[in-house]
Amino acid sequence: MKLKHQGINTNRLKKEADNPREVAFAQMWEKWQRNGWLGESVPLAWILKDWADDPSEYYAPEPSQRDATVAATVVQWFGTVVGVSFLADVINASPELKEYLRHCCFSADEVKRLEK
């Protein structure tokens, strides 16, 4: 069964809704689900895999449509004002994450600007 990786609030993704961060999160999630990550299996299957029960790297059970909808809804939520605030709190609470993001995701000029 081909899963739809869309959340329950797709009405918030319409242009007139003016939620560009939610659109970015939702679109990238769909893209990752469609194309995989680094040529690997669908990320949702790996997120839901019970690694303690089955440590095999080569098998992950197929997610249900409900799994896909719930995951897409949560990912889209990260683009909301509350979701972005949550992400900022997580980043600020984790020096390791902050440092990782600083070095992997920003140019040297952006890092200098952020450090001011």
pLDDT at 78: 97
H or E element that contains 10: none
Q: What is the pTM of this model?
A: 0.80
Q: Three-class SS of residue 9?
A: coil
Residues for the chain: how many in total?
116
Sign of CA dihedral 42, 24, 13, 84: positive
Q: What is the pLDDT along the chain (116 residues), one digit of tens a residue?
A: 789 999 999 999 998 889 999 999 999 999 888 887 766 656 788 888 877 776 666 677 789 999 999 999 999 999 999 999 999 999 999 999 988 888 887 776 766 665 65
pLDDT at 46: 80
Q: Which residue has the tokens 């995989």?
A: 36
d(CA 80, CA 21): 7
pLDDT at 57: 66
Q: Which residues contact 33 (CB under 8 A, 6 or more apart)?
A: 3, 5, 42, 43, 44, 68
Q: Are 77 and 83 within 8 A, CB to CB?
A: yes
